[in-house]
Amino acid sequence: MSEVCNIAAALPRLAAAGPAQVAMRCPGRRGANGFAKYDVSLTYGELDRRSDAIAAGLAGHGIVRGSRVVVMVRPSPEFFLLMFALFKAGAVPVLVDPGIDKRALRQCLDEADPQAFIGIPLAVLARRLLGWARGARVVVTAGRRWFWGGPTLAAIEAAGAGAGPQLAGTAPDDVAAILFTSGSTGVPKGVVYRHRHFVAQTDLLRNAFGIQAGGVDLPTFPPFALFDPALGLASIIPDMDPTRPAQADPRKLHDAIDRFGVDQLFGSPALMRVLAEHGQPLPTLRRVTSAGAPVPADVVAKMRELLPGEASFWTPYGATECLPVAVIEGRELQATREATEQGAGTCVGRPVPPNEVRIIAITDTPIADWSQVQELGAEAIGEITVAGPTATDEYFRRPEATALAKIRETLPDGSTRIVHRMGDLGRFDAQGRLWFCGRKTQRVRTPEGNLYTEQVEPVFNTHPDVARTALVGVGEGGRQVPVLCVEVEKHLPRHEYQRIVEELRRLSEGFVHTARIRHFLVHDGFPVDIRHNAKIGREKLAAWAAKQLGRTP
């Protein structure tokens, strides 16, 4: 069993060592004050035993090693029991953000071509009405069954009770899951995760952040909670809508943190802003991690003030296709703030060993082999690439997307590996630190050269009346007109907008990366990604800006 490559393989060991240790607590019922009671919990022994039972029960319905299974279950005990059951069975869970455009969601599910669909009653109903995953021959309802909803997850667990350990002999290259990207810069793509990727992620996270068993974690992005059992952590599932971190109630987060002595927290930059603006100290936290988009400098500074002096604030850089790639701690990030605000980009730290990160010349076409690559030196801006144990090697049934994002490299010993193109632009400085300059597809290609979002926007974000900005290009590539979209602080009346624009125009004249910008447009509220509420939908803003200027997008 110890030789099996599977993220669930750690669970039986942990259950044997501490069967009564709490693996996770979930919100459950609410008290008179409106706060969750957290009266639903799972110990390591229960998580191991019950996931065994579910895996055995699923096998009775033909869900076995290699079966693709759509999972649409809210973060709850059922979600974690089900996910570990599927890993143990060697089945392949398919996860798609439920908040994406319904047409895109249907396309994702059709591409996944699942053999089974497991969801809460509402998701099962939506599948029936909207034609999701029509080819799924097994439908399971996680919750109360309606007459058309197939067997319930509870019934499947009951059927498999007493079956004993259920850990398939999965190999490193076996497909472990299909995780769809958020689609923030296009139609979501299904990232193929193999079991070796999950195991490597666990090791890299443990080593990069010094995680030790016995800690208490508040993972506000549910998929990250799946790593906690493998790391020996107790998860406190927050009382919030995980698809809307920007709308989380900070009082409820503090209640959970204080009640259970949470010492680790993961959240998007949008959630970090919620806590920073709430302004209440976080004395029990020892490690905070934020990812999904660059964390604004003012949020980092405020969070550092709220944390104990010995606490660390990490902002790892990565993507669904490869995580973590590089990391930087808040103190070093704060030290680079002035450079960022003067157009240097955002420092994302140093590569996490054993990742090999290299910068290559910008191109929008596929690169089949590393021998065709033009690698760039220090300070040159190009596309960020990474090779390492967590770099995934394909998108599910998307050969064109795979060709654009993956490069095959032959190593000196004759072996080959896949190098992932991040689709991000950046550079290495003389100290070996990686600086993020923006998405490749969102660079603005003017006749005078490229402009990059992360070199332009931080300059303007220093204005006290500006909430955030977004650089977009209007027109044909190579002849684009740069436009700065501006979201002002919500308390400001409209008659102040012209003053702010004029001040931004004067500010632009002082920096090389901003001097060419002539158009400034105030927008009521930027579109953001559904996963982290932090990535700005610049493609939508570009279309809006073109309409405002009376031009072709």
33-52 residue pLDDT tens: 889 999 999 999 999 999 99
Q: What per-residue confidence (pLDDT) applies to 185?
A: 65
User: What is the per-residue DSSP string for 310-372?
Assistant: T-EEE--EEETTEEEEEE-BHHHHHHTHHHHTTTS-EEEEEEPTT-EEEEE---SS---BGGG
Q: What mean pLDDT is predicted for residues 161-183?
A: 94
CB atoms within 10 A of CB 257: 22
Distance, in Å, from the CA atom of 369 to the CA atom of 360, rounded to the nearest integer, reads: 13
5-19 residue pLDDT tens: 999 999 999 999 999
What's the pLDDT band for 224 if we cut at 50, 70, 90?
Answer: confident
User: Is residue 248 pLDDT above 90, yes or no?
Assistant: yes
Distance, in Å, from the CA atom of 6 to the CA atom of 171, rounded to the nearest integer, reads: 8
Q: Which is nearest to 83 in space by CA: 143, 153, 161, 20?
A: 153
Q: What mean pLDDT is predicted for residues 230-250?
A: 93
| Phi, psi (deg, nearest 5) at residue 77 | -55, -40
What's the pLDDT band for 482 if we cut at 50, 70, 90?
Answer: very high
Weakest-pLDDT range from 95-99, 343-347, 508-512: 95-99
User: Is residue 531 pLDDT above 90, yes or no?
Assistant: no
Q: Answer yes or no: are the C-beta atoms of 288 and 313 closer than 8 Å.
A: yes
Give the single-character DSSP code of 294.
Answer: P
Q: Which residues contact 415 (CB under 8 A, 6 or more apart)?
A: none
Going from the N-terminus, what domains does the chain have, and what CATH number goes with each?
7-31+38-236 (3.40.50.12780), 443-549 (3.30.300.30)
Q: What per-residue confidence (pLDDT) applies to 184?
A: 67
How is the beta sheet containing 116-119 ordered, strand by strand?
138-141, 116-119, 68-72, 92-95, 175-180, 190-194
- For helices 44-59 and 10-17, give the axis angle rounded to 10 degrees: 140
What's the pLDDT band for 339 if we cut at 50, 70, 90?
Answer: very high
Q: What per-residue confidence (pLDDT) applies to 147?
A: 63
- Both tokens of 235, joined, read 């998860």
User: Is residue 464 pLDDT above 60, yes or no?
Assistant: yes
Checking 401-407 for CB contacts under 8 A at 24+ apart, the result is 401/189, 403/366, 403/368, 404/365, 404/366, 405/321, 407/367, 407/368, 407/369, 407/370, 407/373
What's the pLDDT band for 364 if we cut at 50, 70, 90?
Answer: very high
- What percent of the chain is predicted at pLDDT more than 70? 98
What's the pLDDT band for 1 if we cut at 50, 70, 90?
Answer: very low
Cis peptide before 269 (omega within 30 of 0): no
Q: What mean pLDDT is predicted for residues 328-336?
A: 94
Q: What integer best gives the mean pLDDT of the chain?
A: 94
Q: Which is nearest to 67 in space by CA: 33, 29, 106, 113?
A: 113
What's the pLDDT band for 100 if we cut at 50, 70, 90?
Answer: confident
Q: Between these two residues, 339 and 101, which has the higher pLDDT value?
A: 339
Q: Which is nearest to 96 in space by CA: 8, 177, 194, 197?
A: 177
User: Is residue 3 pLDDT above 80, yes or no?
Assistant: no
- Where are the alpha helices (H) located in 153-218, listed in sequence order? 153-160, 195-209
User: Is residue 80 pLDDT above 70, yes or no?
Assistant: yes
- Give the CA distances from residue 163 to residues 49, 52, 55, 277, 417, in Å, rounded to whole numbers and listed in that order: 9, 7, 9, 50, 40
How many helices (H) and strands (E) the chain has is answered by: 18, 26
Q: How large is the C-alpha radius of gyration of the chain?
A: 24
Q: What per-residue confidence (pLDDT) applies to 215?
A: 95
Q: What per-residue confidence (pLDDT) applies to 553?
A: 63
